[in-house]
């Protein structure tokens, strides 16, 4: 797969579910360590199934590993998955942001904080947290 739409609409439903149900996180880790951007995106988006099940560690691991990735499509995916984590457990998102928000690309941060309270969003954007 080499298209964001294909990756985003299928990989968590297929690969994410498979790895979660069969305890095969190593498959996602292998993809996340690849030099190929699409593999990295598949890995992080694949963690959506984990988020839906209340498991956040793999998402945080992959996002952290790719905070400095040069491609905007990774920044968007990372922010999106962080936002989804926050939708499930806002405390997990806030804890992660408090540690890493100053290192995040702006696109990633904006995606991640999209659903937070406006005052809190502005504090992250202005570096006041």
- Summarize pLDDT for 8-17 with one digit per residue, the tens: 888 889 999 9
**pLDDT at residue number 2:** 60
Mean pLDDT, the chain, integer: 95
pTM value? 0.94
Query: pLDDT above 70 covers what percent of the chain?
Result: 98
- Cα–Cα distance for residue pair 35/98, rounded to 1 Å: 28
pLDDT above 60 (res 1): no
């Amino acid at each position: 797969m080499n298209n964001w739409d294909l990756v985003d609409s299928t990989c968590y439903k297929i690969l994410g579910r498979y790895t979660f149900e069969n305890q095969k996180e190593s498959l996602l880790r292998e993809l996340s360590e690849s030099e190929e951007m699409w593999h990295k995106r598949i890995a992080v988006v694949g963690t959506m199934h984990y988020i839906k099940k209340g498991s956040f560690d793999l998402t945080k691991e992959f996002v952290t590993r790719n905070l400095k990735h040069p491609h905007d499509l990774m920044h968007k995916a990372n922010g999106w998955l962080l936002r989804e984590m926050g939708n499930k457990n806002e405390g997990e998102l806030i804890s992660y942001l408090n540690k890493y928000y100053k290192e995040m690309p702006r696109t990633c941060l904006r995606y991640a904080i999209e659903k937070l309270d406006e005052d809190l969003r502005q504090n992250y954007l202005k570096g006041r947290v």
